[in-house]
Chains A and B, each alone.
Chain A
Amino acid sequence: MLEIRNLHASVDGKPILKGLSLTINPGEIHAIMGPNGAGKSTLAAVLAGKEGYEVTAGEVLFEGQDLLALSPEERSHAGLFLAFQYPVEIPGVSMVQFLRAALNAHRAAKGEEPIDTAQLMSLLREKAALLKLDPAFLTRSVNEGFSGGERKRAEIFQMAVLNPRLAILDETDSGLDIDALRIVAEAVMSLHRPDNAFLVITHYHRILQYLTPNFVHILADGRIVRTGGPELALALEEKGYEPFLSQVV
């Protein structure tokens, strides 16, 4: 589904990703862990197509397409979703309006008619219930006045609505309390199917207890330095990154 080959990317001329390779198959859950500054969020931004990130070498195939040749919205239409680490506020635009625009853009890309209101509302209510969000949340402005935890839940809610093939969760777990974390993780698991995949970027082992990834990767200095199963995350939790990083040097 996603194939990253020898990806190099820099920001303001400074190399951040230095030859990252990663393959994600349908049905898999991958976790990427690593110390601050390792390039985790840069990876997410490059995959989603954010401006200001220059890919200097390597390639990324998504569903067989050259992902890097697509605009951010085309990547979204192709089924790529990014749950933001810091979701922005859109004052005056309700979640309903926002997701209607998003869904219709996706539908238009597929040559489909805009969604009708009844259908939209029942979809939004269903997914809000999945995230245990009060339906009143739908009429509030996107992320405006939301707590950090609410924003993260709202990101997963949006993911549930847009139903992507590959979702990148960029530190979705940080800022969530135990209960919210469980709600989010359970929602992700319930959306997990054999034909979709998740890339979970995290600092903590906590969320992985619920998500049980197929693979855990350690990202350091712009490269994946170690790949293992769930037990790797546990080892990191106990020993820290140090022992794994020293092996590389």
Chain B
Amino acid sequence: MQTQNHLPDDPQAVLEAHLEKEYKWGFEVPLEEELAPKGLSEDIIEYIWQKKNEPPFMLDFRMRAYRAWKTMKEPHWLNGHYDPIDYQDAYYYASPKALSEKQPKSLDEIDPEIKRMFERLGIPLEEQAILAGVAVDAVLDSVSVATTYKERLAKMGIIFCSMSEALQNHPDLVKKYLGTVVPYNDNFFAALNSAVFSDGSFVYIPKGVRCPVELSTYFRINARKTGQFERTLIVADEGAYVSYLEGCTAPARSEHQLHAAVVELIALPGSYIKYSTIQNWYPGDKEGRGGVLNFVTKRGIAHENAKISWTQLETGAAITWKYPSVILKGDNSVGEFYSVAVTNKYQQADTGTKMIHIGKNTRSRIVSKGISAGKSNNTYRGLVQVLPSAENARNFSQCDSLLIGSQCGAHTFPYIETKNPTAIVEHEATTSRIGEEILFYCNQRGIPTQEAVELIINGYCQEVLAQMPLEFAVEARKLLAISLEGSVG
């Protein structure tokens, strides 16, 4: 879902936008000679594996996932509706070369609407070109920037590359960790991803190394294209630290399309992984047509004294279905989840987290801020599970909902399962509305309504935005403002 397809290094998202008329259900690429045959079968799985020249264990992984997937049913339990997807009416492999030929050659070829959005977000022209997937040679400077970073990181032993590269250059590391947090048969979409994933990101931070920069795929601009099934694997070795940024504020416009990604985080003893996401997929038009189906599995495992922190801003997609989770396996491990989910128009979001307390003295903190406008539905669904072994586990959950207008909905489903009497689990929830009183108060001070809404929303989300790296937070604020434009008055 969110990763590559709207990341600066990945030309595909915007490319898709250009091709959208030719796109049917999702992942079809209109360049026949470079495509795998349509549909999904064991032959196709093997074709993908072969084309990607992957090590033998990957064929086994993909095949097992495919076989598990075939026995599973497409889930429809979430608080949101979508029509069943025809998985045979799609292509699961397209050569990167074929795609690069279709890349826009200059900014002039970019959809003016996308350009306008870039401008309003204040993204510099050169960066716009990258975001829009203009052929890389047009933006050589940025490539050299990317290379410089890679060299610097490599000197520290940090591995940061595409999943394809990792499978070629670090197969043992991938083999050791892939599927250990999200098993190949975890759920329907994770199984599908495991069977057909095309690419994604791989990060390894060696023991005791503190990654000196925020890692975002911005730095590997020349990576090959990735599909709708991205696979991200981040391993922080003992005592390591990494902050990883996923996504950017570029709008990825396409027709109703499935994105099923898997993200696995492995925080070895004493390490800290901070994972921030801004998701701004195309939400569908104002009548609710089109938009991305954003079904993703994100999970991390925290070993002794390790910490995993998820921060997300979800503003896009027709349907969002994701629960970034932390398995608090080691004693004294910490899990955090900070989320702002915005729904407008006909969007449906069903998002939250799972905190599984296994180790002693494990702590988790959940701060979820839902904002609903238009005719949208926004659901928080979260599980706090304290297993018998988790002596002195602590959880604090704060789930707030903010309603704009009267036709939207907000729902909160907190599940709490405590099997250890020493656990302390706290849950707080509020629902509020941006009412006339507060808007009038702002108006009286001279602040126009639209600006007042932005101010109020930013205030409401402050606790979550404060968790984001500074530049990311700035983008998040702008994006919030844009996604709620016109929702009041």
Contacts and interface: CB of A to CB of B under 8 A. Distances in A.
A201 to B, nearest CB: 15
A87 B460 CA distance: 18
B458 A72 contact: no
Nearest to A76: B446
B438 interface: yes
Interface string A67-82: 0000111011100011
A158 interface: yes
Contacts of A76: 443-446
A157 to B, nearest CB: 12
B448 A98 contact: no
B446 A102 contact: yes
A121 interface: no
Contacts of B459: 90-93, 97, 141
Nearest to A77: B446
B148 interface: no
A72 B436 CA distance: 12
Interface in B399-447: 436-438, 440-447
Interface string A123-152: 000000000000000000100000000000
Contact of B448 (A52, A90, A105): A105
A90 B456 contact: yes
A156 interface: no
B455 A101 contact: yes
B446 A109 contact: yes
A162 interface: yes
A249 interface: no
B451 A105 contact: yes
Contacts of B475: none
A195 B437 CA distance: 30
A77 B448 CA distance: 11
A226 interface: no
Nearest to A106: B446
Contact of A73 (B437, B446, B460, B463): B446
B443 A90 contact: no
A92 B461 contact: yes
A88 B446 contact: no
Contact of B441 (A51, A81, A87, A91): A87
B462 A101 contact: no
A106 B455 CA distance: 16
A7 B438 CA distance: 26
Given A102-B445, A162-B446, A51 B460 contact: no
Q: How large is the interface on B (under 10, 10 to 19, 20 to 34, 35 or more residues)?
A: 20 to 34
A98 B443 contact: no
Interface residues of A, number: 31
A243 B440 CA distance: 37
A50 interface: yes
Contacts of A88: 437-438, 441
Contact of B445 (A49, A50, A109, A158): A158
Contacts of A97: 455, 458-459
A5 B359 CA distance: 74
Given A90-B456, A91-B459, A101 B443 contact: no
A216 interface: no
Contacts of B460: 91-92
A219 interface: no
A90 B457 CA distance: 10
Contacts of A141: 459
A231 to B, nearest CB: 33
A92 B430 CA distance: 15
A48 interface: yes
A215 interface: no
Contacts of B458: 92-93, 97
Contacts of B437: 88
B456 A98 contact: no
Contacts of A52: 436
A185 B67 CA distance: 79
Contacts of B446: 73, 76-77, 102, 105-106, 109, 162
A90 B447 contact: no
A202 B229 CA distance: 66
A50 B444 CA distance: 9
A97 B477 CA distance: 14
B455 A71 contact: no
A84 interface: yes
Interface centre among B440, B446, B451, by most chain A C-beta atoms within 10 angstroms, is B446
Contacts of A72: 440, 443-444
Interface in B269-326: none
A102 B447 contact: yes
Given A50-B440, A97-B455, A92 B447 contact: no
Nearest to B441: A88
A193 B459 CA distance: 35
Contacts of B463: 92
A224 to B, nearest CB: 24
A49 B444 CA distance: 8
B456 A73 contact: no
Nearest to A50: B440
Contact of B444 (A82, A90, A91, A93): A82
Contacts of B452: 101
B451 A101 contact: yes
Nearest to A158: B445
Contacts of B438: 88, 90
Interface string A31-48: 000000000000000001
A64 to B, nearest CB: 20
Contacts of A82: 444
Given A90-B456, A101-B451, A105-B448, A73 B441 contact: no
A79 to B, nearest CB: 10
Contacts of B451: 101, 105
10 contacts: A50-B440, A76-B446, A88-B441, A90-B455, A91-B460, A92-B460, A98-B445, A101-B455, A102-B442, A158-B445
The 7 A-B residue pairs with the shortest CB-CB distance, nearest first, are: A92-B459, A93-B459, A72-B443, A76-B446, A92-B462, A102-B445, A105-B446
Given A76-B446, A84-B444, 19 more contacts: A48-B440, A52-B436, A71-B443, A73-B446, A73-B448, A73-B449, A75-B444, A76-B445, A84-B441, A92-B460, A93-B456, A98-B445, A101-B447, A101-B451, A101-B455, A105-B446, A105-B448, A141-B459, A162-B445
Interface of A: 48-52, 71-73, 75-77, 81-82, 84, 87-88, 90-93, 97-99, 101-102, 105-106, 109, 141, 158, 162
